[in-house]
Amino acid sequence: MRILLVGMNHRTAPVEIRERFAVDDPLPWLQKLVATPEIEEAVLLSTCNRVELVATTRSLEAGRHRARAFFHRELGHGAALPLHRSESGFLYEHVDNDAVRHLFRVAASIDSLVVGEPQILGQVKEAYREATEGGACGPLLNRLFTSAFAAAKRVRSETQIASRPISMARVAVDLARQIFETLEDKHALLVGAGEMIEAALDALRGAGLASVAVANRTPERASELAARFGATAHGLDEMPALLAAADVVLTSIGADRPLLDAPLFESALRARRRRPIFAIDLGVPRNVDPAVNQLDDVYLYDVDDLSGVAEANAEERRRETVRAEAIVQEEVERFDGWLGALRAVPTIRRLRARAEAIRQAEIEKAAAKLRLDEAGRQGVEAITRAIVNKLLHAPVSKLREQAEREEGLAYLEAAKVLFALDDPNAPGAEADAEPEGGTGAEES
Amino acid sequence: MAIELHQLAAALYLVAALAAILGLVLPRARFGRAAPWLLGAGALAHGLAFARLHTLPNPPALTHLPSAVSLSAWLAVLVSLFLLRRARFGALTALVAPAAFVAVFFASLSLRGLGPAAPVDMGSWPHLHVIFASAGIALLGVAGLAGTLFLAEDRALKAKRARAWRSRLPSLEALDRVNAATLAMGFPVLSAGVIAGMLWTQGETGRLWVGGAHAIWSTLAWAIYAALATARFGAGWRGREAAASAAAGFAFLLFVVIGVGAMT
C-alpha cells in the first residue's frame, strides 16, 4: 500500500486559485473517492491556506492519476471552475515517506504561513474526524494521522515554535500579562478614534479587560466608536483623571508633539498609588514622550518596540523550526518503522501458511500409517503445532524486527527465496489470499 | 540519621534548583513541572531531619546558628510551596531552591559538631525566639527573593528585551502581592522573635537589654523592617521601590543573622 498526498497551499497557489477548491463538506467527495478502485482510504484537508488530499492506494500510478483527476475535474465549486490543466503546476505531490513528512510538518505548523500558528492542528484533526466518521479512513491513515498528532504535540511541547506571539496585538497582550496577573479587573484607555484604535478596541475586548474608555479630540467620533464596542467616550480635557484610572493606555492620534508627557504620568501614578501603567504608543509621530519610560511603574512601548519584540519572537520561532524539523524527522522514522513492520506481514503470513500446509500434509500421511485414534491424532496435532511454532518463532520475530529498517527488506527477500514462498505450486501457496504489497494493517 | 536526612534534603533542593532553572531556560515543560515536586520532597526530608533531631537523647540546640539557618530555610521552602500552588510561580523555585540548598548543605556540615542544648532551664523563650525569628526570616527571605525577581523582570521590560523565558515568570503584579503578603506576615513574626529574644535575655540576666553585637544588629534589622513595613503599608510603597527595599532588607538581615551570628 502506498501513501499519496496531492494538494496546493499558499506557496504554490494564489488565493484566487485556492478559493476555488475550498470544501465545506468533504464527506461526499471522500465517499466518492474511496468508492473508486484506485483509492483505498482518503482524508481531505481544506483550510484558507491549503487544500490537500491524503490517500492510500495499491497502485501508485493509478492512485496518482485518480488524485490529480479529482483536483482537475471534480473539486471546486461546480464544473464552471475546474482547475485548468495548464495550471497543474499549482499542485504538488508527495509519496510515501515524503507524504508522511509533509503531513507531519503541516500538523506541527511548520508548513504554515505563520509558523507555529495553533489553528492548523485543530483543522487537521477535524479533517481526520470527518473522514473517520464518513468511513473513508482505514488502518493506515488512522495510524498516519494519530502519528501526525503525536508529532505536532511533541513539537508544541518540546519547542517554542508556538509560544511567542508575533502579531503586534498579541505581543501587546503578552506584555500586559507579564505586568498584570489578570486583565479581567483592569481598565484600558484608548486615545484617538482612528482605524488603529478601532482594531485595538476589538483586540482588547477579546483580552477580557474590565472596561475601556475612548478619549478623542472630537467626542462625537469617540462616542460613535464607544457605542459600537461598549466603551465610554471622553474628551481629551479629561485626560488626567482618565490616566489615573487606566492600567493599559493605548494611543494613536494625529499630533505633532507628544500629547502625554512624564509630569502627566507622574501625577497619574501618584493618584493611583503607583499601581503600574502599561502604555502602548502606536502614534507616528509618537503621542507619548519617550521620557515616560524612565518613570518607575510605567512600561512604555512604541510601534518600533512592539515590532522589535515581534521580530525577535519571529526569529526565535525560525530558530525553533530547526528543532521542530528534527522532531518531525524522528516521528517520520518511527512511523516508517511501523510501516516497515507491516511490510513483513504478507511474507510472514505466507511462511506460516507454508509451514501449516506441510504440517497438515505430514499428519495426514502419518495418521493413515499409524492408524491413530482421535486422542492420538490430537496429541500429534499438538506436538507438531508446537514444533512448527517454535521453529518459526525466531525467523518471524527477526523478520518483523528487520522489516522496520529499510535495509531489512533484504531479509524479506531472503525468506521468500529460502522457503520458496513465491512458488505457486508449493504447499500452502493457495492460502496466501493477500496480494503482495497489502498492508495487513488489521493484523498489527 | 538526622545529618543524612539533612544531606538528602540538600541534594533534593539542589536537583529542584537545577530542574527549575532548566524549566525556565529550556522549552521542555517537564523540568518546570518536576521542580516543585522535588522541592516538596526536599521539604519532606528536611522535616523528617528535624523530627529525628528532636528525638535524639541530646539534641543539638535550636538556638545554634546552623540549626536556626536550617529551620529558616525549611520554613522558606514551605512558604514557597504554598505560593507554588498558584500558576507561573514556578520561577520562584529557581531562587528558593538554590538558597535552601546552600543553607541546608552548610548547616548539615556544622550539625555534626554541635553540642546539646544548654543545661540551664530558660523555659520556652529560647525556642520561641528561634522559631519566630526563623519564620520571620523565612517570610522576609521569600519577600526578598520575590523582590529580586521583580527587579530582574522590571529591568527586562523597561529594556524591551524579548526573552522567551520571561513569559514563564510570575507577573510583576503577582510578585508585588507576594512581596506585600510576606512582609505583612514576616514583620510581626520577626517582631515576636525579637520580643522572645529579649524575654530570654531577661530570664538569663534579669535585664531586657544587655547590648552586644547580636542584640544591636538584630534591633537595627528589625528597625529597618519596621521602616519598610511603614513605607509599604503607610506611605503606599509598591512596585520597584518595594521590591528593591525588600531585596536590600533581606540582604541586610542575612548579614545580621549569618555574618554577625558567626562572629559572635
pLDDT tens track for A95-110: 988 999 999 999 999 9
- Active-site residue A137, yes or no? no
- What distance in Å separates residue B173's CA from the closest CA in chain A? 5
Mean pLDDT (chain A, rounded): 84
Poorest-confidence range of A56-70, A230-244, B71-85, B120-134? B120-134
Angle made by CA atoms B122, B128, B257, in degrees to the nearest 5 = 105
Poorest-confidence range of A261-275, B129-143, B156-170? B156-170
- Collect all residues of chain A within an 8 Å Cβ-Cβ radius of residue B24: none
DSSP strand pairing (A211-216 vs A187-191): parallel
pLDDT tens, position by position, B217-229:
778 878 888 888 8
Poorest-confidence range of A76-85, A110-119, B60-69? A76-85
Which residue from A157, A297, A308 is facing B160, i.e. has the nearest CB? A308
Which band of pLDDT confidence, cut at 50, 70 and 90, is reported for residue A288? Answer: very high
- Collect all residues of chain A within an 8 Å Cβ-Cβ radius of residue B234: none
- Collect all residues of chain A within an 8 Å Cβ-Cβ radius of residue B174: 181
- Distances in Å between the alpha carbon of B84 and those of A157, A297, A371, B90, B94? 21, 25, 80, 6, 12
- Collect all residues of chain A within an 8 Å Cβ-Cβ radius of residue B167: 163-164, 174, 177-178
Written as one letter, the residue type at B34 is A
Which band of pLDDT confidence, cut at 50, 70 and 90, is reported for residue A310? Answer: confident
The whole-number pLDDT of residue B121 equals 54
Interface test with B, best of A170, A274, A320 (most B CBs within 10 A): A274
Count CB atoms within 10 A of the CB of residue B191: 17
Mean pLDDT over residues A171-189, rounded? 88
Q: What is the DSSP letter of A71?
A: I
Interface test with B, best of A161, A181, A318 (most B CBs within 10 A): A181
Q: Check if B85 contacts A (Cβ < 8 Å).
A: no
CA A23, chain centre distance (Å): 18
Q: Is the pLDDT of residue B81 over 90?
A: no
Q: What is the DSSP letter of A70?
A: I
CA B49, chain centre distance (Å): 18
Mean pLDDT over residues B84-92, rounded? 71
The whole-number pLDDT of residue A149 equals 96
Written as one letter, the residue type at A319 is R
The whole-number pLDDT of residue B58 equals 66
- Collect all residues of chain B within an 8 Å Cβ-Cβ radius of residue A297: 238-240
Residue tagged active-site, from A48, A366, A383, A387: A48
Q: Check if B241 contacts A (Cβ < 8 Å).
A: yes
The whole-number pLDDT of residue B24 equals 75
Rounded Cα distance, A279 and A277, in Å: 6
Q: Is the pLDDT of residue A423 over 60?
A: yes
Q: What is the DSSP letter of A213?
A: E
Chain A, nearest residue to B150 by Cα:
A179
Q: Check if B169 contacts A (Cβ < 8 Å).
A: yes
Poorest-confidence range of A68-82, B100-114, B242-256? A68-82
Q: Check if B4 contacts A (Cβ < 8 Å).
A: no
The whole-number pLDDT of residue A129 equals 94
pLDDT tens, position by position, A224-261:
888 887 889 999 999 999 999 999 999 988 888 889 99
Question: Mapped to the 3 state alphabet, what secondary structure does chain B carry?
Answer: CHHHHHHHHHHHHHHHHHHHHHHHHCCCHHHHHHHHHHHHHHHHHHHHHHHHHHHCCCCECCCCHHHHHHHHHHHHHHHHHHHHCCCCCHHHHHHHHHHHHHHHHHHHHHHCCCCECCCCCCCCHHHHHHHHHHHHHHHHHHHHHHHHHHHHHHHHHHHCCCCHHHHHCCCHHHHHHHHHHHHHHHHHHHHHHHHHHHHHHHHHHCCCCCCCHHHHHHHHHHHHHHHHHHHHHCCCCCHHHHHHHHHHHHHHHHHHHHHHHHHC
Give the whole-number percent of chain B exceeding pLDDT 70: 85
Which band of pLDDT confidence, cut at 50, 70 and 90, is reported for residue A264? Answer: very high
CB contact under 8 A, A299 and B158: yes
Between A272 and A442, whose confidence is greater? A272
Which residues contact residue B163 at a Cβ distance below 8 angstroms, ignoring those fewer than 6 apart?
A: B156
Provide φ and ψ at A3, rounded to 5°. -105, 135
Closest CA to B35 of B13, B55, B53, B54: B13
- What distance in Å separates residue B189's CA from the closest CA in chain A? 27
Core vs surface per residue A58-73: b (16+ CB within 10 A) or e: beeeebbebbbebbbe
The whole-number pLDDT of residue A124 equals 94
Rounded Cα distance, A249 and A190, in Å: 6
Question: Mapped to the 3 state alphabet, what secondary structure does B124-171 carry?
Answer: CHHHHHHHHHHHHHHHHHHHHHHHHHHHHHHHHHHHCCCCHHHHHCCC
Q: Nine-digit cell at A65?
A: 492519476
CB contact under 8 A, B173 and A179: yes
Mean pLDDT (chain B, rounded): 80
- Collect all residues of chain A within an 8 Å Cβ-Cβ radius of residue B231: none
Which band of pLDDT confidence, cut at 50, 70 and 90, is reported for residue A443? Answer: very low
CB contact under 8 A, B164 and A175: no
Q: Is the pLDDT of residue B55 over 80?
A: no
Which residue from A274, A301, A312 is facing B238, i.e. has the nearest CB? A274
Give the whole-number percent of chain A exceeding pLDDT 70: 92
CB contact under 8 A, A177 and B167: yes
Which residue from A174, A296, A305 is facing B240, i.e. has the nearest CB? A296
DSSP strand pairing (A92-95 vs A50-57): unpaired
Rounded Cα distance, B13 and B10, in Å: 5
Residue A106, Cβ density class (10 Å: 0-12 exposed, 13-18 middle, ≥19 buried): buried
The whole-number pLDDT of residue A101 equals 95
CB contact under 8 A, A299 and B29: no
Which band of pLDDT confidence, cut at 50, 70 and 90, is reported for residue A298? Answer: very high
- Collect all residues of chain B within an 8 Å Cβ-Cβ radius of residue A293: 158
- Collect all residues of chain A within an 8 Å Cβ-Cβ radius of residue B170: 181
Closest CA to A8 of A118, A83, A74, A59: A83
CB contact under 8 A, A313 and B158: no
What is the dihedral sign for C-alpha A231, A234, A236, A240? negative
Element (H, E) at A245: helix A239-245
Q: Is there a contact between A214 and A250 (Cβ–Cβ < 8 Å)?
A: no
- What distance in Å separates residue B59's CA from the closest CA in chain A? 45
pLDDT tens, position by position, A75-89:
765 444 445 555 567
CB contact under 8 A, B239 and A174: no
Chain A, nearest residue to B28 by Cα:
A158
Chain B, nearest residue to A300 by Cα:
B158
Contact pairs from chain A to chain B, CB under 8 Å: 70
- Collect all residues of chain A within an 8 Å Cβ-Cβ radius of residue B28: 157-158
The whole-number pLDDT of residue A437 equals 43
- What distance in Å separates residue B149's CA from the closest CA in chain A? 12
CB contact under 8 A, B153 and A178: yes
Rounded Cα distance, A45 and A58, in Å: 21
Chain A, nearest residue to B29 by Cα:
A157
Mean pLDDT over residues A349-372, rounded? 85
Q: Nine-digit cell at A406?
A: 529499510
- What distance in Å separates residue A247's CA from the closest CA in chain B? 12
C-alpha dihedral over B179, B180, B182, B185, to 10 degrees? 170
- What distance in Å separates residue B259's CA from the closest CA in chain A? 33
Task: Please give the ipTM for the structure prediction.
Answer: 0.78
Q: Check if B230 contacts A (Cβ < 8 Å).
A: no
Q: Is there a contact between A341 and A411 (Cβ–Cβ < 8 Å)?
A: no
Rounded Cα distance, A198 and A228, in Å: 10
